[in-house]
Amino acid sequence: MSRDWTQQELQNASKAMKEVGHLGYEEFCEQLKKTIFTGFCKDADNNLIKISGQYKYKEELEKQLQEHFCHLKVITVLSEEDIAFIKENHE
């Protein structure tokens, strides 16, 4: 799909994608907004805490953690894809 497509061309392409079992354009855009990120943190007693949420970017979760969970030390924030990749390649 191209930025210079007309609305009709975009709708036709979206319909064709749906017909063969893929996400249409609208569903694809919605999926982009639904990435689940997980923050791995430690509390004052060195316990590992996992906090997950749906964000467009991992920086949004990092900001939320800093603002609302400032008592936790953020180790990293990973997407579901990152976690799956690590699990696959750890074995």
| 61-69 mean pLDDT | 93
The CATH 3.10.20 portion of the chain extends over: 34-91
Integer Cα distance of 48 and 89 in angstroms: 22
Match domain 34-91 to its CATH number in 1.10.287, 3.40.50, 1.10.3720, 3.10.20.
3.10.20
Per-residue model confidence (pLDDT) at position 42: 96
> Tokens 């430690």 belong to which residue?
42
Provide the pLDDT confidence category of residue 49 given band limits of 50, 70 and 90: very high
- Range from 9-13, 30-34, 84-88 that averages highest in pLDDT: 84-88
Given a cut of 70, whether residue 78 has pLDDT beyond it is yes
Per-residue model confidence (pLDDT) at position 48: 96
> Tokens 């975009």 belong to which residue?
10
Residue 60's region, left for phi above 0, alpha for psi from -120 to 50, else beta, is alpha
Task: Please count the helices (runs of H) and the strands (runs of E) in the chain.
Answer: 4, 3
pTM of full prediction above 0.95: no
